[in-house]
Amino acid sequence: MTKVSKSLKSRTRRTAIIAVAAVGLGACNMATGDLYPAIGSRVQNFENIGAVREYRQCNNDAMVADQSARTESAPARYTQSAQLLAKCEAGLGERASLVPVEERMRNYALGVQNHFKGGDVVQARANLEKFKATFADKDLYYADGSSFVDTMEILLGLRDYTALGEFSVANVNSTVKSELRRVRYWKTN
């Protein structure tokens, strides 16, 4: 036998071994997904849990900014809190259904109020409309039983508060009603 034929045999043998190994490993990788389908769902569950944790941590940070705004009477802090709450909601994306609706509504409502308190009436109006679209036919109620949506619509000028019967129909806090009646009185007298 010559050196060339020995070298050719050893190359052929190596190539065959590598080919068999590659096919065998490729078959193992293809079968792994079928043998362990629960791994994919566990990974998804961990990602979902992580998204909810991030949302709640983000909201906690926004609540700290809200508390700071109240104690310092700083309108800029209210706006900062509102922007952070909007960022939290946007961060959920398609996973919004993982967080209870009431929790999301309360946080969104606080964002609307904080935009208003911060002086950004345009953004407060826009976010109130988004609130009404996102949570259609749902409302939050203050401790005195007044409606969040009705109150914010009147405060943001989305309803005509100069109409006589408007206050009777709206589920608004009595203090808000009396203040708006006082404003109406002094505008006309």
- How confident is the model over 165-183, as pLDDT tens digits? 555 556 677 777 777 777 7
Q: CB of 180 within 8 A of CB of 158?
A: no
Q: What is the DSSP string of 91-123?
A: HHGGGGGGS-HHHHHHHHHHHHHHHHHTT-HHH
Q: How confident is the model at residue 47 (pLDDT cuts 50, 70, 90)?
A: confident
29-39 tens-digit pLDDT? 554 445 566 66
As a whole number, mean pLDDT of residues 141-155 equals 89
pTM: 0.68
Reported as a single tens digit per residue, the pLDDT across 94-134 is: 888 889 999 999 999 999 999 999 999 999 999 999 999 99
Q: Which residues face 141 on adjacent strands?
A: 147
Q: How many CB atoms lie within 10 A of CB 132?
A: 16
* 97-104 long-range contacts, CB within 8 A, separation 24+: 98/48, 98/51, 98/52, 99/52, 99/55, 101/135, 101/138, 104/135
Residue 136, burial from CB neighbour count under 10 angstroms (0-12, 13-18, 19+):
exposed
